[in-house]
Amino acid sequence: MQSQWRGGSAAPPQARQKRPALLSKRDLQGWLLSFPAVLTMIGLAAVPTIIVLVGAVSPTGLSKLAELSQAPLFRQTLWNTTVWVLVGVFGSMILGFAGALALQRVGRRFSGMWRALLLIPWVTPTVAAATAWKWFYSRDYGILNLLLQNLGIIDEPVSWLTNTDIALFAVAMVDVWGRFSFVMLMISSGLQAIPSERYEAARVDGAGAIRTMLNITLPGIRDVVFIVVLIVTVWTLNSFLPVWIMTKGGPAGATNILPVQLYQYFQTGERAALEALAGVQLVLSMAVAALYVSRARRADA
Amino acid sequence: MTRVQGKARRALPVVIAWVVLLLLGAFGFLPLVVMVTTSFKPADQIFRIPPEFLPSSPTLDHYIGVLTDSAMPRAIATSAAVAALVAVVTLLIGSGTGYAIARLRFRGASGLSVALLLGQLLPITVLMLPVFQVVARLGLIDTIPGVALAHLTVVVPLVTWMLTTAFSGAPIELEEAAMVDGCGRPRAVWNVVLPVVAPSLVAVGIFAFLQSWNEFIFASVISRSANSKTAPVALTDFAGQFSTDWGATMAAATIVSLPMVVAFMIVQRFFVEGLASGAVKG
């Protein structure tokens, strides 16, 4: 894992002073072997990304963005996206963290079993999962309302997907559902990497559960938590299917988030709007992604 | 007495841990259980108020309907073809890069790794229009190769990244020994490294397959007809605005999910290990 980052930076200083040929044999071999993947990524990812960026910052793109930003729908979409990301990230972090702590306590055999079981929501195709959730959320025929009523948590059936105050949270819950086990696995491996001597030292010092958590556990997983927060933020920011399958952005734009708006512009053929807004989505995602990559590289070195 | 207390104190967190896991399990499985039970319910039971949890008299009608009288069988065949194509092509494309980054510390390797990471995080809704235009220019709209080509956009960075990890994991001493013995690098790789990493390559291929199988956005904009409609796209056709046949829809959703869950169970261990070293799914 580590070797890949050593790349060019680990070259001894003497070699750099000698200023070798533009491409050494090894460089040439490396790029020849990489050629097919590099070509594919240039054609399908790099060039399209540049086209989107150029379109977004062109005079027409910018004036279209200025025009869009006047509309209430635009502000609502940005606000929804913010809430969506916050709920999605916090929700999956909290559930994932709780799950990771619990996995540590149930013994090796059971933790393996739970790990595998809880990953199933994550591998279920999102289209199928969101369709199942839509039915699960149904006001009159859904099992969720039946369950909550039987448990005495609610008196009346809740309109999970048609109430404008609730829909965004209900849909975000499906995103959390598909994501928390990833967080759980990552934090779980972070917890396992904390040396047990530290816990013993804390016990010898007479530290209680809370002190141990604050002084040993949390600092021990700080790096992995940071990385996971960043990657889950990008994924949630780019997430599209739960909303599209369950509400298509409705009711009355209550669940309209950036990726859904982009898809709708594609469908209605509003190309200028699509290009302008795609720039916003791209900059937001890539800013967080760049943070993630720099952080992941540092953790790796 | 103190010993009993001590035991009770240690047992308490274990109890809490089990409660947490059972609650997470309920959250994780309830919607899926409802999906499966609904798919076995007779049509007249599905729209009963109040709803009932278990099928009164389980029936296979919905599955028979979906498999004999819907667009699903063809869509599943299409998905399988697209995903197989994507898996094979990405392995062919990515292996060279994976090996080069893992073994030849060439100039630019670390920049290329960064590109692989960023490539996995690009929003598909942003690339949808330009990639659609590439596919259109090649005359591949509404074809299986067209959908597969679009899928390469997201699958190639992911698979190449995973291949880098796979090659890094192979013991370098093996190929060094082979090269000392007079083998050239290509022969050393072919005879010594490939057999060692073969299981990882199969696992990575399965991930490529899964990624492609699950993809919706590219598939939905590139397919126009049954020619190239994939299973996830066909599944959305089941749920009409007002008149959804939920029994058939849940049967179709179960059929789309099942191969993924089974395939995942097969490669689970690699999956969990691979997770610790980088992103796997968006």
The pLDDT, as a whole number, for residue B244 is: 79
pLDDT for the residue A1: 34
Kindly state whether residue A288 falls inside one of the protein's structural domains. yes
Asked if residue B228 belongs to a domain, the reply is: yes
Residues B84 and B171 in one domain: yes
Local confidence band at B270 (pLDDT 50, 70, 90 cut-offs): low
pLDDT band at A189 (very low <50, low <70, confident <90, very high): confident
Give A83→chain B minimum CA distance, Å: 18
Contact (Cβ atoms closer than 8 angstroms) between residue A211 and residue A202: yes
**Among A21-30, B126-135, B198-207, whose mean pLDDT is lowest?**
A21-30
B6 pLDDT above the threshold of 80: no
Q: Is pLDDT of B279 > 80?
A: no
CB contact under 8 A, A132 and B34: yes
Highest mean pLDDT among A115-119, A179-183, B180-184: A179-183
Residue A239 belongs to domain spanning: 72-300
Q: Is residue B173 in some structural domain?
A: yes
Mean pLDDT of A244-252: 91
Given a contact cutoff of 8 angstroms between Cβ atoms, the answer to whether B160 and B98 are in contact is yes
Out of A282-286, A297-301, B111-115, pick the least confident.
A297-301
Asked if residue A8 belongs to a domain, the reply is no
Contacts of A32 in chain B (CB under 8 A): 96
**What domain range is B39 assigned to?**
2-59
CA A254: distance to chain centroid? 21
Q: Look at residue B184 in the predicted model and tell me its pLDDT.
A: 81
For testing contact with chain B, the best of A16, A27, A40 (most B CBs within 10 A): A40
Whether A131 and B239 lie within 8 Å, measured CB to CB:
yes
Burial A23-34 (b: 16+ CB within 10 A, else e): eeeebebbbebb
What confidence score (pLDDT) does residue B182 get? 79
Under 8 Å between Cβ of B98 and B166 = yes
| pLDDT for the residue A13 | 44
CA atoms within 13 A on the CB side of B50: 11
Sign of torsion over alpha carbons A227, A228, A229, A231: positive
A295, pLDDT greater than 70:
yes
Pair (B270, B145) in one structural domain: yes
User: Any idea which of A14-18, A245-249, B53-57, B278-282 has the lowest mean pLDDT?
Assistant: B278-282
Q: Which of A92, A134, A143 to mutate to test the interface with B (most CBs of B within 10 A)?
A: A143
Q: Pick from B12, B33, B59: which residue ends a domain?
A: B59
Q: Is it the case that residue B281 has pLDDT exceeding 80?
A: no
According to the model, what pLDDT value does residue A108 have? 80
> Does A229 map to a domain?
yes
Is residue B65 one of the residues assigned to a domain?
no
CB–CB contact A37 B94 (8 Å): yes
Q: What is the mean pLDDT of residues B100-105?
A: 89
Question: Which of B122, B245, B260, B266 to probe by mutation at the A interface, max A CB count within 10 Å?
Answer: B122
d(CA A18, CA A21): 9
* Among B24, B119, B214, beta carbon nearest to A95: B24
pLDDT band at A54 (very low <50, low <70, confident <90, very high): very high
Single out the residue in B10, B38, B59 at which a domain terminates.
B59
> Taking a C-beta distance cutoff of 8 angstroms, is the pair B30, A143 a contact?
yes
Same domain, B209 and B103: yes
* Chain B nearest C-alpha distance from A197 (Å): 19
Of the listed ranges A121-125, A240-244, B55-59, B146-150, the one predicted with least confidence: B55-59
Please report whether residue A243 resides in a domain: yes
Q: Let me know whether B187 and B248 are in one domain.
A: yes
Query: What span, in angstroms and rounded, lies between the C-alpha atoms of B202 and B189?
Result: 17
Counting the structural domains of chain A, the total is 1
Domain annotation covers residue B282: no
- Contact flag B28-A289 (C-beta cutoff 8 Å): no
Do B31 and B112 reside in the same domain of the chain? no
> pLDDT value at position A71?
87
What pLDDT shows up at residue A7? 35
Residue A184: pLDDT band (50, 70, 90) is very high
Residue B64 lies in a domain: no
- Whole-number average pLDDT of chain B: 87
Interchain CB distance below 8 Å, B100 and A282: no
CATH code of the domain covering residue A120: 1.10.3720.10
Both tokens assigned to A20? 């070798």
- B281, part of any domain: no
**Same domain as B263, residue B125:** yes
Structural domains of chain B, count: 2
Q: With bands split at pLDDT 50, 70 and 90, how would you rate the model's confidence at A31?
A: very high
Rounded average pLDDT over A133-151: 91
B138, B176: one domain: yes
CB-defined contacts A:B, below 8 A: 323
Residue corresponding to tokens 């697209």: B82
CATH of the domain at B110: 1.10.3720.10
A299 touches chain B (CB under 8 A): no
ipTM above 0.85, yes or no: yes
Do B183 and B78 fall into the same domain? yes
For residue A19, the model assigns a pLDDT of 56
**Same domain flag for B125 and B197:** yes
Interchain CB distance below 8 Å, A34 and B50: no
How close does chain A come to B181, measured CA to CA in Å? 20
What is residue A18's predicted lDDT score, i.e. its pLDDT? 53
pLDDT in tens, B26-65: 999 999 999 999 999 988 888 888 888 888 888 898 999 8
Q: B127 contacts in A (CB within 8 Å)?
A: 44-45, 48-49, 52
Assess contact for B221 and B126: CB atoms under 8 A: no
Domain end, chosen from B37, B59, B81, is at: B59
Per-residue pLDDT, B96: 92
Residues B98 and B234 in one domain: yes
Considering only the beta carbons, identify the residue of A8, A30, A258 that sits closest to B100. A30
In the predicted structure, residue B246 carries a pLDDT above the cut 80: yes
**Domain co-membership, B99 together with B146:** yes
Residue range A1-26: mean pLDDT, rounded: 50
Q: Distance (Å) from the C-alpha of residue A97 to the closest C-alpha of chain B?
A: 11
Residue A58 lies in a domain: no
Together in a domain, B49 and B131? no
